[in-house]
A and B are shown apart, each in its own frame.
Chain A
Amino acid sequence: MSENTASTTGTAPVVGTARVKRGMAEMLKGGVIMDVVNAEQAKIAEDAGAVAVMALERVPADIRAQGGVSRMSDPDMIDGIIEAVSIPVMAKARIGHFVEARILQSLGVDYVDESEVLTPADYANHIDKWAFTVPFVCGATNLGEALRRITEGAAMIRSKGEAGTGDVSNATTHMRKIRQEIARLSSLPADELYVAAKELQAPYDLVKEVAESGKLPVVLFTAGGIATPADAAMMMQLGAEGVFVGSGIFKAGNPAQRAAAIVKATTFHDDPDVLAKVSRGLGEAMVGINVDEIPQPHRLAERGW
């Protein structure tokens, strides 16, 4: 694919390999990545036990409320967040906006999210992510979309959900869909994988790899609408390897306490006693919007293809 995928042969260290990019996501597993818009929020997230923060100018709920074109954050703001915390910092670039991604790489962010939450910059092409040293995470609503992003070099996938709603139903749909499609591939006889690849609009080799291993070749997180510890735990039980929480924390009554509760719920996602304990006394959750009430053109999950 590119020299970035080559492994080391000599003694010189090699950066930006597929293994260190995908490996970075492996280290985030079982963790919670929180959207933050300033250094103060980043500190609250780190204090709560977040494995990483996502730096962005407005959380999805505000992007939705205020409208307009949504872009990469101001480098000063990203620098401020990098300064403020010791955990990894991610930041969002618009779909297809390879220059925003270059800028984020130059700032030293640890992961770039090529995100449908921002206004797309290219309605045909996503970023060629193999061309970067920094790893990318991309959203997907189904297996074909996930595999197309991986083909373009994504080192981590998150189910899209519907960001900024506090309504977990779309995240559930997307996680179930990806899981079902992987299970279906694994059940197919080898000679049907060619047509399966055609239907998924994804390369045959990658489809075959998923069919054989029964999982994506990169880490799969979930995102979009997670607002409570129970939401996070349900997504983990549905096969997510970790959770992105956007508006759900800082649009709620008591962000620090809610953030810590979601971290605990993600680790002990299968223990109802722990979940009951951490769900108590969190104050008001974000008010939320039902995805059904959002007109089709305003649904973020439908950006990207």
Chain B
Amino acid sequence: MTAPVIGVLALQGDVREHVAALAAAGADARPVRRPSELDAVDGLVIPGGESTTISKLADIFEMREPIDKRIADGMPVYGSCAGMIMLATEVLDGRPDQRGFAGIEMTVRRNAFGRQVDSFEAPVEIAGVPGEPFHAVFIRAPWVERVGAAVQVIGKVTGGPAAERIVAVRQGNLLATSFHPELTGDLRVHAYFVELVRAA
């Protein structure tokens, strides 16, 4: 079985951590900054970072249209944190000119849990990810306020003031989490995505 080729959108953010996690989960992982590099991948990860910056750079370096087109053609995409924002059809508390890819039918609130002093770690149970609850790291994280009919909610916060907030979703081949599995050394979310790409 050959390893699926998975790109990590490398405009800004924690690209290296995602590349390492994907490689450890059995993918042929590589950074992607140009349309020609996008052509060579079977799946794409949009990393954590600053969504306003990533959105701007995606326009400037002409990545938006090619990514939208690949998504329409069924390419699997996983977005963590800023990546979740980039995959949302509607963003609250974003910049007016901020645009995501034509992705998951959901409304996401940016920096929903608060500022950096409110960033936290907490366990999250993710449907389809076996074993112990996932130890999730939330950094100025968004949450999902509304999902369309085609979207499957696969993870919610279990305790604390933000209990029951939606933090992991899937719509077909698109996957998004508010949190950062790439920072934890727990490969289960990346393995889940690698399987998704393999099956696509």
Residue positions of A touching B, CB distance < 8 A: 7-8, 10-17, 19-20, 23-24, 26-31, 46, 49-52, 86-88, 105, 108-111, 133-135, 263-264, 267-268
Contacts and interface: CB of A to CB of B under 8 A. Distances in A.
B105 interface: no
B48 A12 contact: no
12 contacts: A7-B135, A17-B121, A24-B139, A26-B183, A27-B13, A29-B15, A30-B10, A49-B56, A51-B50, A52-B50, A87-B50, A263-B53
A46 B94 CA distance: 12
Contact of B53 (A11, A15, A50, A134): A50
A16 B122 CA distance: 12
Given A20-B137, A86-B95, A267-B33, A31 B120 contact: no
A27 B120 contact: no
A29 B116 contact: no
B93 A86 contact: yes
A279 B70 CA distance: 32
Contacts of A24: 116, 119, 139-140
Contact of B61 (A15, A26, A267): A267
A14 B113 CA distance: 13
Interface residues of B, number: 49
B120 A30 contact: no
A49 B160 CA distance: 34
B123 interface: yes
A83 to B, nearest CB: 12
Of all A-B residue pairs in the complex, the 8 with the closest CB atoms, nearest first, are A110-B116, A13-B160, A13-B122, A13-B120, A11-B159, A20-B119, A51-B50, A26-B14
A12 B67 CA distance: 38
B145 interface: no
Nearest to A108: B115
Contacts of A20: 116, 119-121, 137-139
Given A87-B53, A264-B60, A268-B33, 18 more contacts: A8-B135, A11-B133, A12-B159, A13-B159, A14-B122, A19-B137, A19-B184, A20-B121, A20-B138, A23-B137, A24-B140, A29-B12, A49-B57, A50-B53, A86-B94, A86-B111, A88-B140, A268-B61
Nearest to A26: B14
B45 to A, nearest CB: 14
B52 A49 contact: yes
A268 B157 CA distance: 37
B57 A23 contact: no
Contact of A27 (B49, B133, B161, B162): B49
A107 to B, nearest CB: 10
Contacts of B180: 23, 26
Interface string B163-192: 000000000000000001001100000000
A31 B53 contact: yes
Given A7-B135, A110-B140, A264-B57, A27 B121 contact: no
Given A31-B49, A87-B50, A46 B121 contact: no
A26 B159 contact: no
